[in-house]
């Protein structure tokens, strides 16, 4: 089974577009600000895709582009400007940032109520506590959970193996799967005999940035394989971390690259922008006693 993230994303757009139109009719217009510093070619594409999707759904979208020598102090000031702007519901700083900027400091500077990426210590804490409150979660892992649910793949009791320990994908992915009742194994670049672990996975999530790291022989027959990689092969073609052409014959379900996880990341960003707008509106309407 091919897990078609592009088709699912387009399907979810229909309801989101209608919801945004309804909110706008009540005077609430969800608004997202994306800040990008520098000229990383992949980031330019992702930010462009985010803007295009927001416009398609009727979400207001501002892209703030700055040169690679934009300073940390200037970035903090820009974030503060949008923290203070009540018309803005979500603020996202595209990662990676140039080396002279401290990512942690930037993430912590975003008002927690506008942390549409779910990267703030507060949101991450809630995720790892399995809080039942509403809070944003890193968009790629949350989008993967939406995809698993759509295709009736229930992680409960399953062995999920995560390859890659990034804050954006690997770590929150493991927490979401654990919260959904999976038994989770984290693996990463220092893991010895990686294949011995991946071969035991009922659900295998690969997010390493190494093109075709996972071969068909590394996969348990029938497993669900989720490829988060956005790599280039020797011909410059976009490929994943999984050798899709051979892996698809072993896996029970698999995401393609492109058209798998990527579109679901963007759809989740839009869902969380709408959610933050509704929560902000509710806070305004309900004075704190």
Ligand X SMILES: Nc1nc2c(c(=O)[nH]1)N[C@@H](CN(C=O)c1ccc(C(=O)N[C@@H](CCC(=O)O)C(=O)O)cc1)CN2
Q: Active-site residue numbers?
A: 50, 94, 117
| 62 assigned ligand-binding residue | no
Residue-wise DSSP of 56-117: HHT-EEEEEEE-TT--HHHHHHHHHHHHT-TT--EEEE-SSPPTTS-HHHHHHHS-GGGBTT
Q: Which two tokens stand for residue 274?
A: 């709408």
Q: Which is nearer to ligand X, 61 or 158 (CB)?
A: 61
Nearest residue to the partner ligand X, using Cβ = 262
138 marked among binding-site residues: no
Of the candidates 133, 138, 91, 139, the residue with the CA atom closest to the CA atom of residue 113: 91
189 labeled binding residue: yes
Six token digits for residue 243: 């050798």
Q: Least CB distance from residue 259 to ligand X, whole Å? A: 5
d(CA 169, CA 173): 6
Pairing of strands 60-66, 31-37: parallel
SS (H, E, C) 225-265: EEECCCEECCCCCEECCECHHHHCCCCCEECCCCCCHHHHH
The least CB distance from residue 268 to ligand X, in Å, is 9
Nearer to ligand X, 238 or 279 (CB): 238
Q: How many other C-beta atoms lie within 10 A of the C-beta of residue 149?
A: 12
CB atoms within 10 A of CB 181: 12
3 state SS of 29: coil
Tell me the closest approach of the beta carbon of residue 52 to ligand X, in angstroms: 10
Q: Among residues 21 and 45, whose Cβ is nearest to ligand X?
A: 45
| Residue 165, marked binder | yes
Q: Which is nearer to ligand X, 24 or 113 (CB)?
A: 113
CB of 69 to ligand X, least distance (A): 20
Cα distance between residue 228 and residue 56, in whole Å: 24
Q: Which residues bind ligand X (CB under 6 A)?
A: 45-46, 49, 92-95, 117, 138-140, 168, 230, 238, 257-259, 262-263, 265-266
Query: Nearest approach, Cβ of 159 to ligand X (angstroms)?
Result: 26
Identify the three-state secondary structure at position 41: helix
| Closest CB to ligand X among residues 216, 238 | 238
Residues of each annotated binding site: 164-166, 189
């Amino acid at each position: 089974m091919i897990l078609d993230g592009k088709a699912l994303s387009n399907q979810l757009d229909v309801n989101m577009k209608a919801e945004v139109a309804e909110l706008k009719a009540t005077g609430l217009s969800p608004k997202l600000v994306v800040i990008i510093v520098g000229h990383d070619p992949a980031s330019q594409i992702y930010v462009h895709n985010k803007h295009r999707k927001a416009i398609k759904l009727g979400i207001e979208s501002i892209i703030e582009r700055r040169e690679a020598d934009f300073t940390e102090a200037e970035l903090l000031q820009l974030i503060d400007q949008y923290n203070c702007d009540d018309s803005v519901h979500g603020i996202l700083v595209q990662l990676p940032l140039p080396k002279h900027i401290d990512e942690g400091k930037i993430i912590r500077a975003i008002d927690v109520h506008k942390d549409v990426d779910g990267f703030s210590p507060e949101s991450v804490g809630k995720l790892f506590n399995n809080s039942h409150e509403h809070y944003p979660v890193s968009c790629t892992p949350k989008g993967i959970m939406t995809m698993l649910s759509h295709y009736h793949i229930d992680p409960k009791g399953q062995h999920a193996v995560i390859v890659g320990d990034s804050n954006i994908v690997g770590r929150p992915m493991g927490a979401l799967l654990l919260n959904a009742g999976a038994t989770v194994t984290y693996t990463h670049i220092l893991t010895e005999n990686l294949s011995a672990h991946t071969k035991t996975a009922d659900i295998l999530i690969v997010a390493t940035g190494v093109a075709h790291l996972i071969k068909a022989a590394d996969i348990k027959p029938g497993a669900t394989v989720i490829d988060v990689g956005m790599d280039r092969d020797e011909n410059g073609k976009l490929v994943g971390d999984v050798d899709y052409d051979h892996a698809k014959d072993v896996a029970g379900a698999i995401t393609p690259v492109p058209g798998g996880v990527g579109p679901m990341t963007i759809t989740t960003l839009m869902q969380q922008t709408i959610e933050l707008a509704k929560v902000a509106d509710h806070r305004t309407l309900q004075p704190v006693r």
